[in-house]
Structure 1
Amino acid sequence: MADTMRRYGVHADKVHLIPNGIDPREIGVFENVVFRDDNYGPLKLLFVGRIEPIKGLDCLVAACEELDRRGVKFTLAIAGKGSSSYVDQLKQRIQRAGLQNRVEWIGSVPREKLFSLYSQHHILIVPSINDPCPLVVLESMASGLPVVGSHVGGIPMMVEQGETGFTVPAEDPLALSNAISQLGQDRTLLAKMAANSVERANLFSWERNVEGLSKMIDLLGQSAALKR
C-alpha cells in the first residue's frame, strides 16, 4: 500500500508504514521456543496459506522438482484450503514428478494449532506472487522458523536477508530451490537463522507498533501546531 501511494505521487515523507504485528502473549513462544536439532534428516518445509495461484504454489512445486533432481532430501507440508480444481491440478503435477511421497496435504489448520505445526518444521516457504504483509511470516519466525519467500510486498521488510531467511524473485523456482538448498546444506546457518528469527519477530509486536504509531501522531500534531 505504501509503495502504491508513492507511485501515485504521494511524497515519501508523507507515507508512514505501520507493519503487521503479533501478540507475544497470544503466541507465548518468544521465551519458550524449542529449536530443532535433527541436523541430518530431511529438510522439513512448510507452506501455510490459501491454495491459489497468487500464492505461488506452482513455483513451489517446480522448486521441489529441482530439489529432487539435485538429490536434496526434503519433505513439504501444505496447510490451507483452496478450490478443488486447483488443488487437483497441483496434486497431478506432484504425482507426475514422483513427489507424492514427499508432499503432505494437511488442509485447513485451526489457529490454535498453527504454532505446534511450525515447531515440527525447519523452514516456512512463502512463494507468493503478491502479498502485502503476510502474518504467517511473523508467526513462524516467532516460532523459530527461518523464512524463504518472494521479494514482494512486505516480505522483505520482515525477513532480514541472510539473517532470518532469504527473499528471492517471485515466480523463480531456480532461485527458490537455491535458497532452500543452501539451508539444507548448512544446518549451522539454519540454526542461527532460527534463533535470529525469534529476535526479529519480537520487533513486530503490537506493543512496539503502537509505540511507533503514537510517536508518529505526536509528530503530526507538532507539525500541525507549527503551521498555525
Structure 2
Amino acid sequence: MKRRIAFISEHASPLAVLGGVDSGGQNVYVAEICKSLAALGYIIDIFTRKDAAVLTEVVSWLPGIRVIHMDAGPAKEVPKEALLGYMDEFTRSMITFIKKQQFDYELVHANFFMSGLVASEIKRRLGIPYVITFHALGKIRMIHQKEKDAFPAARLDIEQMLVNDADYIIAECPQDKQDLIGHYNADPSRITIIPCGFSSEEFYPASKAKARQRLGLKKDEVVLLQLGRIVPRKGIDNVIRAMRYLKDIPKVRLLVVGGSDDKPDFSRDTELRRLKEVAEQEGVAAAVEFVGRRNRQQLRHYYQAADFFISTPWYEPFGITPLEAMACGTPVIGSDVGGIKYTVLHGETGFLVPPHDPRNLADAVLEGVSCPEKYRKLCQNALKRVNENFTWSYVAQKAHRLYSRVAGKRVVTPLYLLQLKRSKRKPVAEPVFSIPAFAVS
C-alpha cells in the first residue's frame, strides 16, 4: 500500500521560477526530495500559497505528486516577510481540503517556520504528526542581519514553540543542529541530520571547452562563477572586491548569474545596481559580467564552464549550489559557515575562507590555479564527495526512515475520520486557531 504524506512550503513552490528574491534553495529542496520519495512509492501533496489568480487549486505535477494551492491572502506575490498574518487562512484552507478529500495523511513535513505553524495546528486538530525542516533560523538570521531583518519579532517565539512541539526536527548540517541546541535548547534526541542533495539528471560533468563554446566564453580565460539569489547576505560584493587582487591573472572573468529577469535590469533591481557600482568603484567592471536569470537546464552549462564556483555568504543554513557545482566536477571556494563548511572539504574539494574577506578569497583562487595537478585532484574529489553523500535518492532514503519512525508511533485514528465513518457524510470544516496579536506585529 502506498504511503500518503503532505508537504507544506508556504512561500516556496516547486513550480516557481528560480532566481527571484524568495525563490531558491527551499523550492529545490521540496521539489527534489518529493521526486525521490515518489520513486520510493509515496503519494505526496505539496501545499503552498496561491500567489497568482490564474493558479488552479490542484495541479497534478508529476506521477504521485500534486501541488495544492491554498488561499492565504491576496492571490499575488507577497514578500515572505509579510506572510505570517495569512497563515490562519492557510490553515483553514488546508484543513478544509483534507476533510473534503476524505483521506488521511500519515505525516506532514513542514518547511520553514510559517509552514510549521500550520502543521502544528493540523497536528492539534487532526492528530497528524509532523516533522520540520526550518531551512533558516530566526535567531541566527538576526545575528547576521540585525536591524535589516524584516521578519516580525514573533518569529522567534513561534520557532521556539515548534522546536518543542514538532515530533522530529530535521537539521540540514551539523551547524544547524548545534544552533538548534544552543539557541533554542532543542532536545538532541529529536533532531536528525538529513542534508540537501543534487539532481544527477540535471547536474553532471561535461567538456569544459564545449560548455564555454555554448556560452560564448574563451577557452583560455579563468572563469569564476557566482550563482544564486541576488540578495545582500549572499556576499556577492565580497566576490567582486576579490577581483582587484586577481589582476595578475592575464584573463580572468567573474560571471554573476541570478536575479529576477533574464536580462539584468539595473534600474529596477537595487541590489544589482549596488553590485555594479561596487565593480566600478573597485576598478574591475570590465571583468565582471552580470548574466541575469537562467533556467535549470542552462545553469548546468555555467557550472561546467567555470574553473571555480564561489559562494561567500555571511551565513548559509545549507546551500545547494555548491553541491550542484561539485556535481559538475567544479571545485568550490566558499565561506567557512553553516552548511558550506559541511559540504566543502578545505583543500580537498575546494577551499573555505572567512566571509567579508576578499583578499583571502583571492588567495584561494590563486592557490587553486597555481598547480594543474592539484586542481585536477580538487575536481575529482568534489565529484566523488557529492555522489557518495548528497544525492537526492540518499536524502530520500534517510527521510523515509525518519517518516517510518514518526508515523509508526501514531496509533489513534483522528476523531474527524471516525465521525466521518459513522455519519457517512462529508465533514464540515470547523474554524481553526487565530494567530495571536503578538504574531503579526
TM-score band, normalised by the shorter chain? 0.7 to 0.9
1:52-78 residue CA offsets vs partner (Å, 9 max, x unmatched): 21000121122112222xx13421000
Letter in 2 for 1:101: A
The reply to whether residue 209 of structure 1 matches residue 395 of structure 2 is yes
Please report the RMSD computed on the Cα atoms of aligned residues, expressed in angstroms.
2.6
* TM-score w.r.t. length of structure 2: 0.45
Structure with the bigger RCO (C-alpha within 8 Å, sep 6+) is: 1
Query: C-alpha distance in 2, partners of 1:182/1:85?
Result: 34
Q: Secondary structure at the match of 2:376?
A: helix
Change (3 A) 1:157 1:36: farther
Q: 2:179: which partner in 1?
A: 4
Q: 1:75: which partner in 2?
A: 253
Q: CA deviation at 1:168?
A: 1.2
Change (3 A) 1:36 1:188: farther
1:103-157 residue CA offsets vs partner (Å, 9 max, x unmatched): 1111001111110111111110001111112111111110111000101111111
Q: 1:57: which partner in 2?
A: 236
Q: Within 5 Å, give how 1:45-124 maps onto structure 2.
A: 45-68=224-247, 71-73=248-250, 74-81=252-259, 84-124=269-309
Q: Secondary structure at the match of 1:92?
A: helix
Higher radius of gyration, 1 or 2? 2
1:187-212 residue CA offsets vs partner (Å, 9 max, x unmatched): 22122111211111112011112233
Q: Within 5 Å, give how 1:158-177 maps onto structure 2.
A: 158-177=343-362
Q: 1:195: which partner in 2?
A: 380
**Of the candidates 312, 319, 340, which is equivalent to residue 155 of structure 1?**
340
Query: C-alpha distance in 2, partners of 1:35/1:163?
Result: 20
Q: In 1, are the aligned partners of 2:310 and 2:334 still within 8 Å (CA)?
A: yes
Letter in 1 for 2:329: G
Q: CA deviation at 1:86?
A: 2.2
Q: CA deviation at 1:214?
A: 3.9
Alignment gaps of 5+ in structure 2: 1-175, 213-218, 261-267, 410-441
Alignment gaps of 5+ in structure 1: none
The reply to whether residue 134 of structure 1 matches residue 325 of structure 2 is no
Query: Which shows bigger deviation, 203-212 or 49-58?
Result: 203-212
Letter in 2 for 1:72: I
Q: In 2, are the aligned partners of 1:19 and 1:209 still within 8 Å (CA)?
A: yes
Q: In 1, are the aligned partners of 2:241 and 2:282 still within 8 Å (CA)?
A: no
Query: C-alpha distance in 1, partners of 2:377/2:196?
Result: 24
Q: In 1, are the aligned partners of 2:238 and 2:358 still within 8 Å (CA)?
A: yes
Query: Which shows bigger deviation, 104-113 or 190-199?
Result: 190-199
Change (3 A) 1:221 1:90: closer
Q: In 2, are the aligned partners of 1:72 and 1:184 still within 8 Å (CA)?
A: no
Q: In 2, are the aligned partners of 1:77 and 1:103 still within 8 Å (CA)?
A: yes
Query: C-alpha distance in 2, partners of 1:129/1:151?
Result: 9
* TM-score w.r.t. length of structure 1: 0.84
Identity across matched positions, percent? 28
1:7-61 residue CA offsets vs partner (Å, 9 max, x unmatched): 122244542111101232x2262xx5335699x9332100001122100012112
Query: C-alpha distance in 2, partners of 1:163/1:35?
Result: 20
Q: In 2, are the aligned partners of 1:146 and 1:197 still within 8 Å (CA)?
A: yes
Q: Secondary structure at the match of 1:167?
A: strand
Query: C-alpha distance in 2, partners of 1:47/1:62?
Result: 13
Q: In 1, are the aligned partners of 2:327 and 2:383 still within 8 Å (CA)?
A: yes
